[in-house]
Amino acid sequence: MKNRYSRQEIFEKIGKKGQQKLLNSKVVVVGVGALGTTVCDLLARAGIGEIILIDHDVIDQTNLQRQTLFCEEDIGKPKASTAKKYLEKINSEIKIIAHDDHLNNENVTLLDSDVVVDCTDNIDTRFLINEYCKKEKINWVHGAAIRDKGTMFVFSFGLNGLNGLNDSGDLPCFKCIFPNISQGESCEEAGVLGAVTNIIGSIQANETIKLLVGLEHEKDLLRLNLLDNNIDKIKVNKNSECSVCAGDYSCLMSAESGAEFSIESTELSNFSKFTIQKCKTKAGWSAKPKQNLKLNLDAIKQKYETIMDTPILLVIDCEGEIIVHNYGEILFKELKDEEKMKKIVAEIYDTGK
């Protein structure tokens, strides 16, 4: 009798042994946007036994141009848990776990797996992934896309599937290749072609499968220019002066950077310290708690005029549009007065405690 993986198994590089390896594997996908939806769709269909999805964002209408798992009725819903719903319809035989949360140095152990696939658009998250995977010897596959261009690289820090090899000793980490990189333009600012994210995501999924079954993975940095239909392979080397390769895992140890403000109130015992800083995309300001929180969104929406209400965030109107995430991050899209922002953050934390 045919099984759902028969066309994959008859490919001699996979076979029944390789398919069983996939079914026994665990993969974490960080970011369930354009790259992430392509990656987890392909991995679910390929029979990866357990897929963990991590993303704190919600689906926006502009996402539908390229984020392949979502449709119009999903606008406003959390990306990770919505993707989980569709993936379970695609393959009911595998395990899908969704975390509607952002990855940080307090929940970074969620990355424990056979392979981590980086589909985020946040540079700080990439540095965190790099350090944890380097420290814990976990393979991870990097991908990025903007405009008509994309990049992909495999960081093989762990064991390579069936052959059990660990070849990470002389290979570069993310910081070796991008030592001084900062948050660049976002898709919101520069745009991106859906075909670019689909191609890069497909290559990421393919490299993940190669790692899991023990096939030789890509060693070069791939750079795609879609308008020219060109893929360059760039050889990269380990940086002998790289602090991460020397064992300095500063992202794992440090809290978020930014100016720290303390609200002097006995009523705010666990909500007293937070940072406010300019968003990396320069599209507004972000307030983040110095420790993980769980805000009561129901209480907050009773106090403020609510523009949008989802299980993981609210959009409220208070001195302009404000996005309140249930884990404590607050985004100011219009307000620029830091003193007013500090006061509003304290009030929201007090209301939602």
Determine how many CB atoms are found less than 10 A away from the CB of residue 37: 29
| 258 SS3 class | coil
- Rounded alpha-carbon distances, angstroms, from residue 230 to 25, 144, 224, 225: 33, 16, 6, 5
Q: Can you say whether the dihedral through the CA atoms of 22, 28, 33, 34 is positive or negative? A: negative
C-alpha gyration radius of the chain: 21
Q: Which two tokens stand for residue 119?
A: 């589909």
- Could you tell me which residues come within 8 angstroms of residue 205 by beta carbon, excluding any fewer than 6 positions away? 38, 39, 42, 43, 46, 117
> Can you read off the two tokens belonging to residue 27?
């993969």
Cα 118 from Cα 116, distance rounded (Å) = 6
- In 3D space, the residue among 110, 107, 56, 47 whose CA is nearest the CA of residue 81 turns out to be 56
> Residues 40, 119, 173, 187: which is the catalytic one?
187
DSSP designation for 335: -
The three-class DSSP label of residue 236 is: coil
- For residue 344, is it left (φ>0), alpha (ψ between -120 and 50) or beta? alpha
For the question of residue 245 being annotated catalytic, the response is no
d(CA 311, CA 169) in angstroms, rounded, equals 44
The CA angle 331-335-341, to the nearest 5 degrees, is 70
Catalytic residues: 187
